[in-house]
Amino acid sequence: MVRSAEFQTSRTAGYAAKAMLQNQGYEVAKVLMRSTTKPGTIGLIAWNHLEMLFICIRSYRGRYHLQEDIDALSRLQRSGTYPGDIQYWVRDKTCWVRYRICVGGAMRLGGPDDASD
C-alpha cells in the first residue's frame, strides 16, 4: 500500500479501497469526504466497462454494526434505485472482508485473502 498523508488518517479504509479498485481498472468516485457511522452509507462508486459498484466501506478500527449496515443496504437494493451491485467492505489489518448485498441480506464474496492489498 502507498504511504502518504491520505493513508495516515481515520479514512484509511476508504483510500485503500479506492486505490485497490483503481489498480483493478475501475474508475472510482469517492462519495463521502469523511467517514460516517450512519448505517448503509455508500462511500464509493466504482465502474468499468462491465459493471458498476456502490460500496459501503467500514474499518474494524472504526465503529460499525454489521447487521444494521446490511439491513440498510438491503433496503437500498430492494428499492431498485441503484443500477449496479451494492457491496459492503470491511477492512481488517491485512485484508478486506467483502459482501454482495442481496434483497434479503448479504452474501460473502470469496475468502478473506482474495482482496488483500
Q: Fold for 5-109, please state it.
A: Trna Endonuclease; Chain: A, domain 1 (3.40.1350)
Task: Give the pLDDT of the chain (117 residues) as one tens digit per residue.
Answer: 445 444 444 467 888 899 999 999 999 998 875 666 688 889 999 999 999 999 999 887 655 688 899 999 999 999 998 999 999 999 877 788 999 999 999 999 985 445 555
Q: Which three cell numbers stand for residue 76?
A: 437500498
Secondary structure percentages of the chain, helix, strand, coil, to 5? 25, 30, 45
Domain ranges of the chain: 5-109
> Residue 5: CB partners within 8 Å, gap ≥ 6?
none
8 A C-beta contact, residue 49 and residue 38: no
